[in-house]
Amino acid sequence: MKYLIIGLGNYGGVLAEELTALGHEVIGVDSEALQAERYKEKVATTYVLDATDDMALSVLPFNGVDIVIVAIGENFGASVRIVSLLKKRNVKHIYARAVDDVHKAVLDAFSLDRILTPEKDAARLLVQLLELDAEVEHFSVDDNNYVFKFAVPAKLVGYKISELNLEQEFRLRIISVVMGKQTSNFLGISKKEYVSTIDYSEDYDLKEEDGLVCYGQYSDFMKFWKSVK
């Protein structure tokens, strides 16, 4: 895909580098020549211009990109003005960074494709890592709902899946069971293999090497997790 990123500061610059590393074409824009020069060799193209100036924006190839990302956050006024000018130019897909709830509320009025809240997301992720430890893999579906993958806690080993009552007690839906089993390779060396299946029996007895994949709200999962740890 082709991205145009306005603002090559700490957030926008890293975003530009990471997207480029993944094989995407990135056009970087910054009002500071030093910032643009910093990423000149790291992205496809850079522009030095004031994106709050409607005339200056006319040189940017909006029709040739898939998504425009306004990565400016600290300068509230500049961020809102740039988004307004992009909407005026009928730019189809706009993402914009918001640094606080007021900023987000203002950007919400523009009906953007996505509002990015990296500071809040980073803080939330750290809290989740501290609470869940390294035993749980999770990703968010939206602000409240997540998919969780975790090894069966010792307290639940030997239970039948039907006996967990996850949906009734914690509003967590089991998506699949990850069944672990010991196998041997052609050299006779024992190793553990994992197979995820949605076709599991409610009478299946959970084993120490098994795992579960569940869907539900983060707060509900934490109630469950604390009850079995």
Domain locations in the chain? 2-116, 122-228
Q: Is 0.75 topped by the overall pTM?
A: no
- Digit-coded pLDDT (tens) for 17-33: 999 999 999 999 999 99
Nearest CA to 64 out of 39, 86, 37, 91 is that of 91
Strand extents, DSSP E, the chain: 2-6, 25-30, 45-48, 67-70, 94-97, 114-116, 136-140, 145-151, 173-184, 190-197, 211-217
β-sheet bridge partners, residue 60: none
Half-sphere exposure of 36 (CA within 13 A, CB side): 14
CATH class of 122-228: alpha beta
Residue type (1 letter), 73 = G
Helix (H) or strand (E) holding 109: none
152 secondary structure, DSSP code: P
Percent of the chain with pLDDT over 70: 94
- Digit-coded pLDDT (tens) for 136-193: 888 878 777 889 999 899 999 999 999 999 999 999 999 999 887 666 665 666 666 7
Q: Do domains 2-116 and 122-228 have the same CATH topology?
A: no
β-sheet bridge partners, residue 184: 190
pLDDT score for 191: 64
The number of residues making up the chain comes to 229
Mean pLDDT value across the chain? 89
Return the CATH superfamily for domain 2-116.
Answer: NAD(P)-binding Rossmann-like Domain (3.40.50.720)
184 three-class SS: strand
Residue 208 reports pLDDT greater than 70: yes
For residues 3 and 49, what is the distance between their CA atoms, to the nearest angstrom? 17
